[in-house]
A and B are shown apart, each in its own frame.
Chain A
Amino acid sequence: MTSVEPRATVSRRAPRNPSWAAFRGMLLRDFTVLDKHLPQFMAGTIMQPLMLVFVLTNVFPEIGQGIGGVGGSSRFSSLLMAGIVAQAIIFIGIFSVGSELVREFGVTGEIEDRVLAPVPVSVVALEKIVAGGLQALFGAMVVFPIAAFVPATPVFLDVRFSVLATVAPLACLTAASLGLTMGTRIKPRTASYLFGVVALPLSFLGAIFYTWPSLDPIPWLKYVLLVNPLVYVSEGFRAALVAGEPHLSLAVIYPALIGFSVLFGVIGTRGFRQRVLG
């Protein structure tokens, strides 16, 4: 009798850290989907900042209605850029994470594939935050070339790179975590209200078109707005990009952005787990 040695059938080693491997796989999958829909994503990312910058800093000054007067238009344009960057980040966070999740939970049921991955459900939620944060960072970078070439009045930025390099990732995390919270709390049939009821008030009351300290004449509004995370994102970018203008202290901005990221991250992850397990 002869015996035959069984041949090894496993040709690939199991990953050392399966959670990390699954996380990378999900991230790659999200960006593969993004690659397929790249023209739509680019159009959605560029259009809003382009239109805002074009109308407020090009059309208005050209027709003699520049905000801030003749020379003040330059100052307004420079102040506005920080707000536009902040708005781009928040909108991409809400729409790339939030509305995608609403669709995946309610319409396509795609999320069921994701949670079959051999990782805790919270890692799937974390991956959504990271993917959304990276897209938001991309959207923020797109605003700068628009600011350089579109306005009719000169935009001058005095970049503090250390502040920019710390505020930008925190802002992206805050936005993506907010998107996760909304995406897990909003029902598909009410998703159409996301823009009108959430995004618009956030945007107009988010210190995009004005600085937070300039609200001195309306003290009640000034302090009510502190619940809006976009205020800290706008003021953070103002601190990073515009010198010589009063803004919220960085000692307030950093803790607020970290706090909002953690708060929305926890609420969003809980909501995500409830939706998946429910």
Chain B
Amino acid sequence: MKRIRRVLGVSAITVVTFVVAVVALQDDARAGCVASAPTDPSYEAELLGQVDTTTTTYRLSITRDGEPVAGALVCFDTYMRGMSAMVVSETAVEVVPGIYEISIFFEMTGPWRGDVLISEDGQPPSRLELDFDVQ
């Protein structure tokens, strides 16, 4: 084993850094909009107003069991269907309780799919899918 002591030493260091990295990479704080979350049917999301290629600011209504969801972290990822490379992602800003504002420019008309991640304090995050047409 003496003949391969450098290989063994480097392997041991690699295993330790691998474990540290895996722990760090699973930190929820890194998750943001890429967090995996189940769909909770009690949440509903709706893009308010017409969605088109000229507007750059939209409002998103978030409710839970029909009640406005206030003070949540809301991430909105959206992509044109069939063109998954055309992805836009924004963290929404709450303007009134339950209404969140996002700044997005849709480059093309057609069917788009939104992916809304809602993280409320004390609640597990939840994802919603939102299909809409850009005029």
Contacts and interface: CB of A to CB of B under 8 A. Distances in A.
Interface of A: 28, 31-32, 34-35, 38, 42, 67-76, 78, 138, 141-142, 144-145, 147-149, 154-159, 214, 216-217, 242-244
Contacts of B3: 28, 31-32, 35
B114 to A, nearest CB: 12
A38 B32 contact: no
A137 to B, nearest CB: 10
B47 interface: no
B82 interface: yes
Given A71-B89, A71-B91, A217-B83, 16 more contacts: A28-B4, A31-B3, A31-B7, A35-B5, A38-B6, A38-B10, A69-B88, A72-B87, A142-B18, A154-B30, A155-B30, A156-B34, A158-B26, A159-B25, A217-B82, A243-B36
B135 interface: no
B108 interface: no
Contact of B14 (A142, A158, A217): A142
B10 A71 contact: no
Contacts of A67: 85
Interface in B108-127: 127
Given A35-B7, A70-B89, A155-B30, A244 B20 contact: no
B77 A71 contact: yes
B95 interface: no
B14 A32 contact: no
B122 to A, nearest CB: 21
A129 B11 CA distance: 19
Nearest to B31: A156
11 contacts: A31-B3, A32-B4, A68-B87, A70-B90, A72-B33, A72-B87, A75-B77, A144-B18, A148-B21, A154-B31, A159-B22
Nearest to B18: A141
Contacts of A216: 82
B33 A147 contact: no
Question: Which secondary structure characterizes the binding site on chain A?
Answer: helix
Contact of A42 (B10, B21, B35, B75): B10
A34 B7 contact: yes
A96 B7 CA distance: 15
B17 interface: yes
Given A38-B7, A217-B82, A72 B89 contact: yes
| A-B pairs with lowest CB-CB distance, top 3 | A71-B89, A243-B36, A244-B36
A71 B75 contact: yes
Contact of A244 (B4, B21, B37): B37
Contacts of A34: 4, 7
Contacts of A75: 33-34, 77, 87, 89
Contacts of B26: 156-159
A71 B83 CA distance: 17
A71 B75 CA distance: 9
Interface in B75-100: 75, 77, 79, 82-85, 87-91
B48 interface: no
A158 B36 contact: yes
A108 to B, nearest CB: 20
A71 B17 contact: no
B4 A145 contact: no
Contacts of B90: 70-71
A138 B24 contact: no
B20 to A, nearest CB: 7
